[in-house]
Amino acid sequence: MKRKILSVLLIVSVSAFLVFSACDRTGYKGTHADLFTVTSNSVLGVWGDADTIIVLEEDDYGRRMYFHWGNSRIADKEGGYDGYEYWAIIICQKTDSKGKFTYFYPDENLLLFKVAFPDDDNYVGQFDRLKEIAYTLTTEKELNDLKSRNDWNKPINEAKCAKVKVSRTNRGIEDKLLSKSKKMEICNSLRLGSTQREWADYYLTSDKYNRHIYFLKDMKNNEHQCSYLLMLIPGSSYQVVELNDPWSFQEDLVRFKVDNNWNVPIVILSPFG
């Protein structure tokens, strides 16, 4: 894959995150809240502050392919926010006429890039320049493959779509989904009991049967410790998998879904048979 590593300046705010805390996340402030929602349901640890979204192309059916330059906790692996950030090219299938729900093909809709940025303001605010740069991140073949996987210039297949409510923020784990005792059970099972460590938890996505996937980031002094995918399953059960490299999460995420019957009806067996 041909990738050009570019230098950019990214202004970010760093907040402290406590164990399974929802945290102070002010969220996305731009004009494309629906596209931000697609990104936050597709890329780990996205929260929206200072993110830039630029629409690159639109097909005959209203699909948008867009460029997203933003903040994600996956970047912490390289030692905080002074080394790398993520840039992505993503396709959104559609957003409803009221702007309440947006649709995308899960696990097929993005190209993710790891980009280095020292102190260099050559691209800040230069949206036309950023649009040109987006096309240098990858090859024409890869872009065409992305379009093909997303039925570019073909009728939208809603059966293949994930439908999500538009939101400008990325919530943490909700109390109604996970009790304090269950949180402690997860902490203990992953050896996360130390109160000296800080944690970030970020919602990723849900299936049709109320399974929810979260990205967990173990941090101490803003340095990478370990990263997990957590799936909460109705009936008070959960599954966890550790990620070897959060930047290469896509195959692990697909496998995690398959292994845990994603989008398959949940059958709760009666204790009486």
Is residue 269 a part of any domain in this protein? Answer: no
Residues 131 and 198 in one domain: no
Token pair belonging to 87: 């840039």
pLDDT of 244: 86
Q: Please, which residues have CB within 8 angstroms of residue 226's CB and are 6 or more apart in sequence?
A: 218, 242
Number of domains in the chain: 2
Residue ranges making up the domain that contains 244: 180-259
Residue 20 domain-assigned? no
What confidence score (pLDDT) does residue 144 get?
97
Whether pTM exceeds 0.85: no
The pLDDT value given to residue 125:
56
Q: Compute the distance between CA of residue 99 and CA of residue 159 in angstroms, rounded to an integer.
A: 20
* pLDDT for the residue 123: 56
Torsion of CA 70, 74, 78, 82, to 10 degrees: 20
CA–CA dist 77, 224 (Å, integer):
5
Q: Does residue 5 fall inside a structural domain?
A: no
Q: What's the full length of the chain, in residues? A: 273
Q: For residues 149 and 74, state if they share a domain.
A: yes
Q: Quick one: 39 and 154 in the same domain? A: yes
Choose the final residue of a domain: 165, 194, 214: 165
Q: What is the pLDDT of residue 16?
A: 30
pLDDT at 33: 95
Which residue, of 135, 165, 195, is where some domain finishes?
Answer: 165
Whether residues 159 and 83 fall in one domain: yes
Domain shared by 120 and 56, yes or no: yes
Residue 144 shares a structural domain with residue 196: no
- pLDDT < 50 regions, the chain: 1-24, 77-80, 82, 118-120, 193, 195-196, 221, 273
Confidence at residue 25, expressed as pLDDT on a 0 to 100 scale = 56
Give a yes or no: residue 130 inside a domain.
Answer: yes
129 with 205, same domain: the answer is no
Inside any domain, residue 264:
no
d(CA 216, CA 209): 22
